[in-house]
Amino acid sequence: MKVAVLGFGTVGVGVYEMLENAPGFEPGPVLVRPGKEDRPFKVSSMEQIANDPEVFAVAEVMGGIEPANSYVSMALAAGKHVVTSNKALVAAHGIELAALAREKGVSFLFSAACGGGVPFLHNLAIASESDAILSLGGILNGTTNFMLDAMQSEGKDYGDVLRQAQALGYAEADPTADVSGLDALRKIMLACAVAYDKLPVEGFCSEGIESITAGDVAHFRSLGLSCRLITSGGPAGDSVYAYVEPVLFPASAPECSVLKNFNMAKYCGQNAGSIVLMGQGAGRYPTASAVVRDLYGLGGMPMLRPACRKVAADNSGCVHDYYVRCAKADAARFSFRERWEDGDLVRGLTEALSVPAMHALAGQIRKEGGGIFFAAVE
């Protein structure tokens, strides 16, 4: 069965190569931009792919929202199954695309969009059919994990580890989506949609790692703590909670064993208990392996069920103690149970604060021109 590939970049080349050895499948036409059709299998017309009766399924690995959305819609409307690695596309239009797939009797699967090679959504989709998922999330961004691990183990500053991550190909030239937490946020949106039939589209709290310094790391290291960027999701009444923030863990926590650019996806089932999946969350072949794995699930269980709807996230019930570093002038905004003075800075551990309250306080301090780093304390 021929699989057309949309996009011939990092993941696209991997998918094409894997299709050459995937029993039951073979690579079909590859969509490239006009003028880049330098091999017979490369085409620049999506209509040609949608109208090709030999194309059984389409792997969308070009990224972005448009024209990916139009092309995927075109493929589904033509009765082709679609698998994609594009989290931005699924976060923006997944519900509509899943509805079109149902109408046409084909599959729309997107395992590779969350966790790269880690079979997180695949397992979550199956588990949520038979068990109540009490919580989900974990370390879903390898770039920031690499950076935090390097800061922690090598004592380097943020700028140095970012440059190192870029040189190794772990961070893009514009790293904003990773370091701001947006990439992780999109992944938790998809996981909530798969597990709870609720795609949170607003009401998020998202804090990345842009404000962490070598001084912060040295201080919480002295307290025996390590930082990881954690995504958290779970049921919240009629809605879901969904947020991203740095979290400090004691050295014995499993999260601290996640080194370099690895991911650790977790969910907790009411009956299954805690399930942890670790592996490569990005990269050509890990991501391509998830795309190809989805091809073997075509015609089976959907990832987005008909009941899936858009909701506003509700994080008000999520409460943590926080580690905060801010200017002395801003410290009065917090109720610290322990604090350390460091020149003009105050570092402290707060009393319990709700996630929205902590994120709002940090937002206010930054709006007024101040600086702050915060992390929940596990």
Closest C-alpha to 192, from 255, 140, 262: 140
Strands in the chain per DSSP E: 2-6, 26-31, 42-43, 55-60, 81-84, 108-109, 133-139, 198-202, 205-206, 225-236, 239-250, 262-269, 273-280, 309-312, 319-327, 336-342, 345-350, 353-354, 372-377
What's the min distance (Å) between Cβ of 112 and ligand NAP?
A: 6
Nearer to ligand NAP, 59 or 151 (CB): 59
Q: Which two tokens stand for residue 165?
A: 């991550």
SS3 63: coil
On the CB side of 155, CA atoms within 13 Å amount to: 3
What's the min distance (Å) between Cβ of 113 and ligand NAP?
A: 6
Nearer to ligand NAP, 13 or 22 (CB): 13
**Is 187 annotated in the active site?**
yes
- Distance separating alpha carbons of residues 236 and 176, to the nearest angstrom: 29
Nearer to ligand NAP, 70 or 335 (CB): 70
Instruction: Break the chain down into helix, strand, coil percent, rounded to 5.
Output: 35, 30, 35
Q: What is the DSSP letter of 352?
A: P
Binding site for ligand NAP (CB under 6 A): 7-12, 31-33, 61-63, 67, 85-87, 112, 116, 282-283, 287
What's the min distance (Å) between Cβ of 10 and ligand NAP?
A: 4
- Distance separating alpha carbons of residues 245 and 376, to the nearest angstrom: 7
Nearer to ligand NAP, 190 or 227 (CB): 190
Nearer to ligand NAP, 62 or 162 (CB): 62
Nearer to ligand NAP, 115 or 297 (CB): 115
- Distance separating alpha carbons of residues 257 and 226, to the nearest angstrom: 10
Determine how many CB atoms are found less than 10 A away from the CB of residue 278: 17
Nearer to ligand NAP, 85 or 144 (CB): 85
Neighbouring-strand partners of residue 265: 138, 277
- Distance separating alpha carbons of residues 199 and 86, to the nearest angstrom: 16
What's the min distance (Å) between Cβ of 280 and ligand NAP?
A: 9
Task: Give the helix ranges, DSSP H, for 230-354.
Answer: 284-295, 328-331
What's the min distance (Å) between Cβ of 12 and ligand NAP?
A: 6
Q: Which two tokens stand for residue 123?
A: 């397992």
- Distance separating alpha carbons of residues 324 and 251, to the nearest angstrom: 19
Per annotation, catalytic residue among 80, 87, 187, 266: 187
What's the min distance (Å) between Cβ of 275 and ligand NAP?
A: 21
What's the min distance (Å) between Cβ of 350 and ligand NAP?
A: 35
Report the catalytic residues: 187
